[in-house]
Chain A
Amino acid sequence: MTARPLEGLLVADFCWVAAGPVGTRFLADAGATVIRIESSLRPDGLRMRGPYKDGVAGPNRSGFYNNFNAGKFSLALNMTTDRGRALARELVRQADIVTNNYAPGTMGRWGLDYESVRAMNPTAIYLSMPMMGSSGPRRDFRGLGASIQAIAGVNWLSGHPQRPPQGPGFNFPDYMNPYFGIFSLLSALHHRTATGEGQEIELSQYQATVSLTGESLLHAAADGVVAGRAGNTDPAMSPHNVYPCRGDDRWIAIAVRDEDDWAALRQAGGDAAWVNDQRFATLPGRITHRDDLDALIGMWTRDQSAPELAERLQVAGVPAGPVQDGGDVLGDPQMAARRHYVVLDHPETGPVRHDTQSFRLSAAEVRPTLPAPLLGQHTDWVCEHFLGLSREEIDGLYAEGVLV
């Protein structure tokens, strides 16, 4: 059970912020040695963003950074110096996988574009994740995950039809695009294991996120029908919404898929006003009178406890669940039974729960075993073990401002 599938693979990780590191966290969980090239001169933005442990800011205290960088190693290197870039190149020469999510051109300015890397390390798999790819009229577009989901069509579909395109409420693509990246990387690894051949992968975060709306794109391409926002409704199900429950901002999601679900929900509804209303007897009726039905169900749910009602409906076979917030999920019995959260003892934050990956493998361990690195925590170790430097040389590089 202790085998880790990617043990022995070395990753030179130039990713930063969210979308890149979420992906390399997967590689670290699977046993790869992931060395992040960082710098205290220009720290990763996530180190400087909360939430911070106990609300106290500091580059090693961010839950944003620490959760998605668990199990990685940190080399602090000044890439504006010749020596710093030379050390990075030496690490890249040894790496199996090289990753970055910089804007196009940044890696090239350091002599670390794919052609340069291939010249010294032809079997390397090289993944870049520029926002808009490396060509095209919007190649240099700047943005965050929130910008990508807007231009890629996700916001258009998320929210109420009469209200602005609010979108997911967070940087959704930052948690999707990295998995596209990992799938392409592991596919390339499959090819390399068979042939010995490395290659370059370019993931356009724009294109990857556009792919998440393939259903509406294909419909628009074929028929010219442009889908809009539909709130929580579904074209083939009703009732299908979130309904108010007892407490402050508490809600229950209910989805009635078919007549069996509807019969079970009516049974649970007892003598509520909607139960025997003939307008709702058939699916077409429930769709036509969706708003009235939702309002009536909301009156029925609003004094009930969301978790208790969900439990009751699930026993009756109706898909239902409380609309959980972050704290609810952290404490829910399913996550506990699955041991999703892993406590890791971090030198600055102490023991803190971390996400593990969302799956279990029956014959391999995939989960973080070390907390996120302090900024530069493994500089000495990387210099000695990978870069072949002596103690004196390392001390000299600190003094010269190369290791910062």
Chain B
Amino acid sequence: MVQRGQPPTALGDVRVIELADRRTALCGKMFADMGADVILVEPPGGAEHRWRPPFIGGRPDPLRSARFAYENAGKRSVTARLDDAADLEQLHDLLASADLFIEGSKPGSLSAYGLTYEALSARHPRLIVVSITDFGQDGPWAQWEATDLISMSLGGVTYLGGYPDTAPVRIGGAQSSNIAGLHAACAALLALHHRRVTGLGQHVDESTHEAVAYTQEIAMQAVEYEGAVRGRLNKEENPVEHGVYRCSDGHIICTSIPRAWDGLLEWMSAKGVDISPLVGDEWRAPGYLAAHSAEFNARFVPFLASMTRDEACDEAQARELMFAPVYSAGDLIDDAHLASTRYFEERVLWSGAPSVPYPGRPYDLSVTPWRGVGPVPTPGEHSDLLRARLGAGGAR
């Protein structure tokens, strides 16, 4: 989809058919943002995840789910009933013109419509089928039901989050479909690359469970190498383990304090803090700060409380201390750094709506730039167009 006067996109020659599902949404978005033609296939009335709250404007509407809008803007949409023979044939026409078919259905459930991988590859041998499921296509849990909370919990990540005196807490923002979507998108590009050698498509079988498990940092290795189970740590005012501290207007995270110890003492001293109990090389020795955190916090906590988040972090960074502010969505929208890199791009999400700052590029490519363009499609918005074109022998 090269547009006149615009630089080429990396995946502008790729067509993706996405059987719309919460599991496939980010994966499809990754392709759309690189220029691919991504076409959602939805049931009449729209896919289920169009109804996920919160809704922009507060009113339930198939275009206004914030999650759906973020992940599906720039895609096209056709509606089809998979149990209708004519619609199914139309889907096959689409698949014949496509490079990738991304789906997130429970393993085996598409066989009712003849859409098993075997049948798809027999009819469309160059098609790459990307299945993003909760547990993968096989194994004893393949037919289990999961939501984000279940996936994050079974995969070991929930256990690492939360407070020592509470139950474990999952990461916010329903991250399991982000994790699996990113992994699957990369795997799909591997299959596309491989097709240049083999001439054939293949099946990408993505398991959300394995993707979450891979994201546990060192929880697996702690058991395998040292027989130790990693749990959730107390981070409140913890000076050694990425501690959360309060400033006058919010929180900051402090990491690697002993590495820039002298700079910190100099700074505290300049602010009138009596640092004499904190002077000495022992404070930089491994384990010492952890063992004497109460002594440290007695001075450090009130010191930070007298400053704003940004004041504290900017001064800390100037002194080579790794402090970072805890930002909300509102802070990010106002952030001068993101403004300077033009991270947010004004975008009209549906016709008649005012433009909003739309979250943008994870990366900059010098020759084939990321391009976030296009509104959120209404269900079936492009059905007619595609039918006309394909009917006229428009399959590529």
Contacts and interface: CB of A to CB of B under 8 A. Distances in A.
A220 interface: yes
Contact of B170 (A6, A152, A211, A232): A232
A204 B236 contact: no
A330 B54 contact: no
Contact of B141 (A170, A206, A333): A333
A232 B159 CA distance: 12
A136 B366 contact: no
Interface stretch (B37-45, B83-91, B270-278, B330-338): B330-338
Interface in A211-245: 211-232, 234-237, 240-244
Contacts of A381: none
A267 B12 CA distance: 52
Given A5-B191, A147-B255, A319-B147, A326 B219 contact: yes
Interface stretch (A83-91, A173-181, A385-393): A173-181
B322 interface: yes
A381 to B, nearest CB: 26
Interface string A119-143: 0000000000000110111101111
Contact of A175 (B154, B217, B230, B362): B217
Given A30-B190, A167-B235, A218 B66 contact: yes
Contact of B149 (A255, A357, A364): A255
Nearest to A229: B172
B244 A191 contact: no
Given A215-B173, A222-B356, A229-B172, A156 B329 contact: yes
Given A50-B226, A156-B328, A338-B207, A325 B219 contact: yes
User: Of residues B56, B70, B152, B337, which shows the largest number of chain A Cβ atoms within 10 Å of its Cβ?
Assistant: B337
A147 B253 contact: yes
A236 to B, nearest CB: 5
B333 A217 contact: yes
A276 to B, nearest CB: 24
B356 to A, nearest CB: 5
B161 interface: yes
Binding site of B, secondary structure by majority: helix, strand, loop or mixed? mixed
A371 interface: no
A63 to B, nearest CB: 3
B252 A335 contact: no
Contacts of B255: 143-144, 146-147
B348 to A, nearest CB: 11
A249 B160 CA distance: 12
A74 interface: no
B102 interface: no
Contacts of B96: none
B138 interface: yes
B168 interface: yes
Contacts, number: 521
Contacts of B333: 217, 220-221
Interface string A61-74: 10110110000000
Given A6-B190, A188-B365, A362-B117, A333 B58 contact: no
A342 B30 CA distance: 29
A360 interface: yes
Interface string B143-167: 0111101101111111111110011
B136 interface: yes
A340 B189 contact: no
A208 B178 CA distance: 12
Contact of B230 (A204, A236, A325): A325
A51 B225 CA distance: 6
A222 B368 CA distance: 29
A357 B205 CA distance: 11
Contacts of A400: none
A227 to B, nearest CB: 7
B71 interface: yes
Contacts of B357: 221
Contacts of B225: 50-54, 61, 63, 349, 352
A3 B194 contact: yes
Contacts of A181: 363
B203 A361 contact: yes
B351 interface: no
B198 A187 contact: no
A20 interface: no
A399 interface: no
B71 A251 contact: no
Interface string B356-374: 1111111111111000000
Contacts of B257: none
Given A191-B8, A242-B158, A364-B191, A199 B340 contact: no
Interface stretch (B208-216, B288-296, B299-307, B379-387): B208-216
B139 to A, nearest CB: 4
A142 B322 contact: yes
B324 interface: yes
Given A144-B256, A165-B251, A337-B138, A232 B169 contact: yes
25 contacts: A3-B197, A26-B186, A52-B225, A66-B221, A136-B337, A142-B321, A155-B251, A160-B162, A165-B326, A169-B160, A170-B160, A189-B193, A212-B175, A213-B172, A214-B67, A220-B332, A222-B56, A222-B66, A223-B58, A229-B172, A232-B167, A325-B219, A325-B230, A326-B216, A334-B141
Given A172-B215, A211-B359, A352-B224, 16 more contacts: A5-B194, A50-B222, A147-B253, A156-B172, A164-B236, A169-B160, A169-B232, A179-B182, A183-B182, A207-B341, A214-B71, A219-B329, A251-B167, A324-B153, A325-B159, A338-B139
Q: Which 5 A-B pairs have the closest CB atoms?
A: A157-B172, A63-B221, A326-B219, A337-B139, A147-B324
Interface of B: 8, 10-11, 13-14, 30, 34, 52-54, 56-58, 66-67, 69-71, 117, 135-142, 144-147, 149-150, 152-163, 166-175, 178-180, 182-187, 189-194, 196-198, 200, 202-211, 213-226, 228-233, 235-236, 242, 244, 246, 251-253, 255-256, 317, 320-333, 336-338, 340-341, 343-344, 349, 356-368
